[in-house]
Structure 1
Amino acid sequence: MNKHFSFLLLLALAFTTLRAQETWLRGKVVKWGSDEPLIAATVRIESSGKSVITGSAGGFRLSLGKVADSISATGLVLVVSAVGFETLKLPASVGEMLIRLQPSRREMDEVVVTGTMRAVQRSASPVPVEVYSPQFFRKNPTPTIFDALQLVNGIRPQLNCNVCNTGDIHINGLEGPYTMVLIDGMPIVSSLASVYGLQGIPNSLVERIEVVKGPASSLYGSEAIGGLINIITKHPRKAPALAIEYNGTSRREHNFDAGFKFRSGRKSQALTGLNYYNSTHRYDRNKDNFTDVTLQNRLSVFQKVNWNRKDNRAGAIAIRFITEDRWGGEMQWARKFRGGDSVYGEQISTNRAELIGNYQLPTTEKLLFSFSANTHSQRSAYGNIIFNASQHIGFGQLTWEKDAGEHHQLLAGIVGRYTWYDDNTIVTADTTGMHNLPEKILLPGIFLQDDISLGDHHQLLLGVRYDYDKRHGNIITPRLAWKWKLSAMDHLRFNLGTGFRVVNLFTEDHAALTGARKVEIDGELKPERSYNGNLNYTRKFTLDNGYINLEAAAWYTYFSNRILPDYETDPDKIIYANLDGYAESKGFSLNLEAAFLNNLRLTSGFTLQDVSVTEKGSGGKKTTRQQMLTEPWSGTWTISYSFGKSGWSLDYTGNIYGPMLLPLASSLDPRNPKSPVWSLQNLQLSHKGSNGIEWFGGVKNLLDFTPARNNPFIIARADDPFDKRVIRAPDGKVTATPDNPYALSFDPNYVFAPNQGRKIFIGFRYAWKGHE
């Protein structure tokens, strides 16, 4: 009997132990209508606030602790939310839960920081800010952010050379030097890095990209005339434990992205990113004996650390290293020909290091110190012209954010920037041209901004910035922004601002270094000054089966001085001079975004613009000409559709551009003086599996468009790149001969679109959220 009693006692103890073990809520969160897993959705117990984030397959596991009975989950309410989806409340249940979230009928009101340098709801910002997520750019996978921005209305990545494929970003018709590129709010990309800054940023580390069109000089300094692009990297806490992406093309291009996070200390998390791009196979589809695209080998490494500090104060530091080797030129070029005049090639070696960070001071007032530093070394050869340059920049900024009563939000800052620059051109030579004088510039400044609430419907932002430049004295850039909340669904914004920019010729305009044209600087170049106004209207529509967002904008920019390359006065020269007149940029844009419960999503945009220069001619007569390499109109679109629960989706993306003026090399040049209406269109099919791996593939440039279409050639005198057979008259002008019937010299600057036709791409991506 004792044996039986002991056995029963053991059974009872085991049963009690089992009953006292932890109880878990388990399940999966998917998209309504397709059952596609939702990554990074939040599942929270309403009463306790305990929460968990879904993993790469949409799954979650939430502990209820040690309870006596699993049915204690009864009565608990779960709150499930995800960006872009309606929040759902439902009763918890024991067993595997399947939770479906519907797409939001209204655009999520993201938190933005770029417009006012303060974290505010996007709808509450008096400055219009456009926000783009990595999911948006995945509709057309690209190896760089430079290429990805072609999907954004009003923004065009512009190639500046047919040989080495350097480029910049145009915003509303204004060239790259007028666009400030920030990483986590720090002005990292500028001057010597302006043509390479958007390349080599690992896509796996990007949280979002914020775009401000129009001047923001009162906050960010003199380079922000045309607009801002702020690349915001992920916080390690929000990043997946591991993210991998690879894609390759039929042109044997390979791009690999990887990111992973780890706990670097008891109160810190680290995020590491790696990007490698390789395109080293030579193609000459148009048979001009020049590579169609530049060959590149690039490696970028990124490391970011965030600290968990008391009272949730900010504390982060990040570093990035980039090394790249690129070249383009004649198909038989090899490194032994570098800098010589027997085989033409443009070879550029770049090494760059960046440091950015911020630290919120442990004070009762909100004081944030932000800093950055970068060093950039470029060693390059453009044919037989050697261009070597080095640059070091240090930047520091202390901001004070203050609630000054019920209606005022103050932001004040002290800023300083030091630039050391040296190259082997006349830019850093003394007046005799015999001695080298590296450029050393200290640019201190202060700014003040007041965000004023004028009741429930009106908001006024006033700002001013003061900088001192020893070369040009005092620089004052004021700013005004006004927002009228017409209703909860529509807003009207009006912005005024000024800009001031010092031109860095050889670091910003690649045309000054390539080709046979001679560079001529007419007089001492003065700073550029501008005045800008823009009007923005947004309207949201909620539908029974989705939502539609509309945004319309109009802008006008006036330059009292502007430095533009003159290709027309003398076909053998590029002339830079102060503007004896004025320049204007004006236009209108319309954006549409829509999402429907039938799994259809689309965006579209249209921009109409007029960018012109008016100068005084002989006798004081004014002449107006359109800006070279600027499209009068453009459009973009994305159309995406998910096929139910299958995991398959289709993306059709594209852009279209109106005709732009192109730089001809002589009056006899047979190439078209204007580009045709041209379009780049792409198709992608992707599949997300239950194992967390997403496969994608498709076709880029469906119409197989290249600039060579309907043109006899693209590069002038490609068979004589050193002008050895060019005959010149006593005045230096090129003479037409039987060997040179069009009186041309070598010129690779006739470029308006990528010189790469249709190609197939395929790839995969995988994200593992890790153990919660």
Structure 2
Amino acid sequence: MSRNSIVLILLFITGISAYSQANKEISGVVKAKEKNKLTGLVGANVYWANTQTGTVTDFNGAFIIEQKRGNQQLVISYIGYKPDTLLVGEQEYFEVVLQSDELDEVVVAGKKAGSHMSRLDPMTKVNITGAELCKAACCNLSESFETNASVDVSYSDAATGAKQIQLLGLSGNYVQMMTENIPNFRGLATLYGLNYIPGAWMSSIQISKGTSTVINGYEALTGQINVDYKRPENSEKFFLNVMGNHTGRWENNINGSIHLNDKWSTAILAHYSQDQNETDDNNDGFRDEPLLKQLNLMNRWSYNNHNGFTTQFGFKVLDENRLGGQMGFDGSKPADQNIGGANQIYGINIDTRRYEGFYKVGYVFDDDFTSLALVANYAYHEQNSFYGRKQYDAEQRSFYANLIFQSFISNENNKFSTGISFQSDEFDEVLLMNFQDPGDVQNLNREEFVPGAFFQYTYNIPDKLTVIAGGRIDFHNDFGTLVTPRLHVKYNLTPNTILRASAGKGYRTPNVLAENSYLLASSRQINIASDIDQEEAWNYGANITQYINIAGRELTLNAEYYRTDFQNQLITDIDQSVDAVSFYNLDGKSYANNYQIEGKYELVRGLDMVAAWRFNDVKVTYDGELRDRPLMSRAKGLVNLSYSTPLKKWQFDLTTQFNGKGRVPSTASNQPDYQRPDSFESYQIVNTQITKYFRKWNIYAGVENLGGFKQEDPIIAGEDPFGDSFDSSLIWGPIMGRRFYFGLRFSIDREE
């Protein structure tokens, strides 16, 4: 039996995850020369000449790229520097120092790029690097998009601290959340999962707009957000980040990596955060944000035999407790207090434990083009919670596996990927609308098993055209056969004008209560239709990017349009009645049109500007009437200014977010004191930060919501939370005022 056959058998028997790697990996670091030292460049383009195969450098300027047969010339380029071309032979590691393309004598500051879009990627994908993440406090994933023009993050309600993202005018439910290309944070983790990834753990974030490829499943109705954690191979030997704000919030992060030998490496990442002071800036008697304690640990291992075989595995443990509600709430249920008395305190207690494990293994065959990969992930999520007298306890067990085979037809310009996948979710949910009345209980248990298969073909004319056409078929245990076609096209109209277009279908199984449990923080009744169907939508759009050289610096202009058309959708209706929230299937039209323009330019050396404007036209049929989606701004704008002094001693960042008008569900049937306007006016948020850099550490300080703007009276009937009118769900703007923060980062980088 051949060696290849043995490897194949072992992969299938072990069932461990696989990752596609090249038979030979080329790695290195790209730097810029300053007066007396070299500084790594983030976001430098690294690609094989006359191909569409490339990557970008990470936070430290490091890169890893696979070398396939016929690839010998490696091109390194970065805006403002002369490109370099390497002739790659037997050498596997390179240190590249790019020279400034300025003719006059200048000081090269080595400024690290923030977010950027690769010229090579056929998808509309924005890469957020570690440099961009350092422009704000970035305590976790939810705070990583403050300087990004495409993604919005807002609170779901005014009591639980739950956050939601918006992409292409739709909520984060329709965005496939990924961690290192593994679908993650589904179901119970939807509301608080953005808080489960500490900012200090991330090396980069990729935001893909529109429908994604079929390799990772049939979801991603409006796009993907993929997070790359720090890896043992190239992360710091030691890293420490400590951050606090003036309201008593503390964040502590420590991570380190060890190279045991030339094949094995491991990394440990630890996080602890705590909100320890009660704040009530709007004087409504409720905490502006819950008291929070979170402990988060991750250990990961990596093995590479440098002969085509790699494997990675690791685990993650999270324990979180959040206490929201009225000031003075200590975590005890109202039943433990004076039942029926006037001294009862309305409280929210959400206690969460989450355990994850992943395993990846991959092998590249002797022809250097053919590879086999298997990725597997398991997550267990337990949440015990109560909201006043409502009690919601739930468990979720999720398993994901994806086997991927990649090769080519005739030559490297005709590639294909095919494979099989399996996704399962098991939910055990119990809802007591009043735990003093155990008979009023709803059990929402559900099991979902979805095996599937996919095929994807990529055609490439170097430097001109790339077409990705794919389809998959999945077999759902409840909803039957699902067919998912998707298409992506990238065409270079000129060397500096790139057109991208995409179209495809997506499905999503709604988890009604798990994804909307924040609505329990109100007196509304919960009405769930008995025939909830799977969500289904088409997404299509186009993007054009123009690069213009002005005064020796590159101006990047980007314009795009995307539309999402729903064939079926879970409608969350808070318009019918102020006393209830109703969940039912779409009966009519539902669509989202998203228009965005964006420009990036270095105004003067060291001063970068990003300016963007977006318009959302989102309509949904509520109870037979087509209306604007409520609680969201129709227009959004962003201006980000980032200035770095020569030699990167200081950095100054300022971001202004403009938010347009929007609709608020009617509260006309409430008594006059509890009524709210049917719309909200435009407002803006300003965030700023100053960073001082030293050799191995830096200190930073900043202000979030500098103007102190906040939504007035966000909670209805807060003085009577056990009454019939209490509601904390009508949130459209900030609920907290100005926040001052400060922090310190210290790192011991790995020697090159």
TM bracket, shorter-chain basis: 0.7 to 0.9
Alignment check: 8 A CA contact 2:451 2:474 kept = yes
Q: Is the counterpart of residue 278 in structure 1 residue 274 in structure 2? A: yes
Change (3 A) 1:552 1:80: closer
Structure 1 residues 31-180: aligned runs within 5 Å: 38-39=39-40, 86=81, 102=108, 122-180=118-176
State the Cα deviation string for residues 88-146 of structure 1 (Å, max 9, x = none): 889xxxxxxx9976479998998x9xxxxxxxxx3233221110112112111121111
Structure 1 residues 582, 125: CA separation in 2 closer, same or farther (over 3 Å shift)?
same
Matched, 1:471 2:478: yes
Instruction: Tell me how many residue pairs correspond in the alignment.
Output: 663
- Paired position in structure 2 for 1:303: 299
* Counterpart position of 1:766: 746
2:79–2:553 CA contact under 8 A, matched in 1: no
2:629 corresponds to which residue? 627
What secondary structure is seen at the aligned counterpart in 2 of 1:360?
strand
Is 1:462 matched up with 2:477? Answer: no
What TM-score results when the alignment is normalised by the length of structure 2? 0.82
- 1:566 and 2:562 aligned: no
In structure 2, relative to structure 1, the CA distance for the partners of 1:99 and 1:502 (3 Å cut) is closer
Contact 2:221 2:506 in 1 (8 A): yes
- Counterpart in the other structure of 1:375: 380
Local SS of the residue matching 2:194: coil
- Read off the aligned partner of 1:624 and give its amino acid letter: L
Q: Is the 8 A contact 1:595 1:601 kept in 2?
A: yes
Amino acid at match of 2:663: L
CA RMSD of aligned residues (A): 3.3
Residue 243 of structure 1 corresponds to 239
Give distance in 2, aligned partners of 1:56 and 1:218.
Answer: 29
Q: Does 1:317 align with 2:297?
A: no
Asked if 1:601 is matched to 2:608, the reply is yes
1:656 lines up with 2:663 in the alignment: no
Q: Which residues in structure 2 correspond to 1:297-446 (within 5 Å)?
A: 297-337=293-333, 342-361=344-363, 363-364=365-366, 365-406=370-411, 407-425=413-431, 438-446=445-453
Distance verdict in 2 for CA 1:426–1:329, change over 3 Å = closer
In proportion to residue count, which structure has more strand? Answer: 2
CA contact (8 A) 2:295 2:318 kept: yes
Task: Provide the secondary structure at the position in 2 that maps to 1:219.
Answer: helix
Amino acid at match of 2:405: W
What's the CA shift for 1:221?
2.5
| 1:643 Cα deviation from its structure 2 partner | 2.5
Q: 1:541 to 1:362 in 2, by over 3 A?
A: closer
- Whether the aligned pair in 2 keeps the contact of 1:106 and 1:540 (CA below 8 Å) is no
Aligned partners of 1:638, 1:583: CA distance in 2, in Å?
33
Letter in 2 for 1:720: D
Q: What is the CA–CA distance in structure 2 between the aligned matches of 1:265 and 1:675, rounded to whole Å?
A: 60
Relative to structure 1, the CA distance from residue 263 to residue 82 in structure 2 (aligned partners, 3 Å threshold; closer, same or farther) is: farther
- In 2 relative to 1, CA 645–185 (structure 1 residues): closer, same or farther, beyond 3 Å? closer
Q: Is the 8 A contact 1:634 1:657 kept in 2?
A: yes
What is the CA-CA distance between 1:749 and the residue it aligns to?
Answer: 0.6
Which residue of the partner structure matches residue 714 of structure 1?
Answer: 714
Displacement after TM superposition at 1:717 (Å): 1.0
After superposition, give the CA deviation of every residue in 1:567-594 in whole Å (9 maximum; x if it has no partner): 1211111111111112010121112222
User: Residues 36 and 647 of structure 1 are in contact (CA less than 8 Å); yes or no, is this contact kept in structure 2?
Assistant: no
Correspondence list, 1:582-731, <5 A: 582-595=589-602, 598-614=605-621, 617=624, 623-645=625-647, 647-667=649-669, 668=672, 669-689=674-694, 691-708=695-712, 713-723=713-723
Map of 1:741 onto structure 2: none
Q: Deviations over 1:391-435 (max 9, x none)?
A: 1111111001111123311011200012121011399xxxx9999
Structure 2 SS opposite 1:163: coil
SS in 1 for 2:415: strand
Deviations along 1:633-660, one digit per CA (max 9) or x if unpaired, are: 1112221112334712211113121122
Letter in 2 for 1:390: E
- Give the secondary-structure state (helix, strand or coil) at the position aligned to 1:569: coil
Percent of residue pairs identical: 22
- Preserved contact between residue 143 and residue 277 of structure 1 (Cα < 8 Å): no
Runs of 5+ unmatched residues, structure 1: 1-27, 43-53, 59-78, 91-97, 113-121, 618-622, 727-744
Structure 1 position 755 matched with structure 2 position 735:
yes
Give the TM-score taking structure 1 as reference length: 0.80
Indicate if the aligned counterparts of 2:430 and 2:441 stay in contact, CA closer than 8 A: no
2:94 match: none
8 Å contact 1:56–1:769 — kept in the other structure?
Answer: no
Please give the alpha-carbon distance, in whole angstroms, between the structure 1 residues aligned to 2:356 and 2:515: 19
Following TM superposition, by how much is the alpha carbon of 1:291 offset from its aligned partner in structure 2, in angstroms? Answer: 0.6
- Equivalent position to 1:183, from 179, 185, 193: 179
Give, in whole Å, the separation in 2 of the partners of 1:264 and 1:39: 25
CA shift for structure 1 position 335: 2.1
2:115 touches 2:132 (CA, 8 Å); kept in 1?
no
Q: Determine helix, strand or coil for the equivalent of 1:717.
A: coil
Match of 1:740 in 2: none
Q: Secondary structure at the match of 2:513?
A: helix
Bigger radius of gyration, 1 or 2?
1
* Matching residue within 546, 551, 558 for 1:551: 558
Change in CA separation of 1:539 and 1:290 when aligned onto 2, cut-off 3 Å: same
Q: State the alpha-carbon separation in 1 of the partners of residues 75 and 750 from structure 2.
A: 19
CA–CA distance in structure 2, aligned partners of residues 716 and 218 of structure 1: 44
Q: CA deviation at 1:761?
A: 1.3
CA distance in 1 between partners of 2:709 and 2:264 (Å)? 49
Gap runs ≥5 in structure 2? 1-29, 44-56, 62-73, 86-96, 101-107, 434-438
Contact 2:632–2:732 (CA under 8 A) maintained in structure 1? no
Q: CA offsets, 1:582-620, max 9 Å, x none?
A: 201012111222235621112222111100024684xxx
CA contact (8 A) 1:545 1:596 kept: no
Counterpart-to-counterpart distance in 1, 2:392 and 2:302: 39
Aligned CA distance change for structure 1 residues 210 and 455 (closer, same or farther; 3 Å): closer
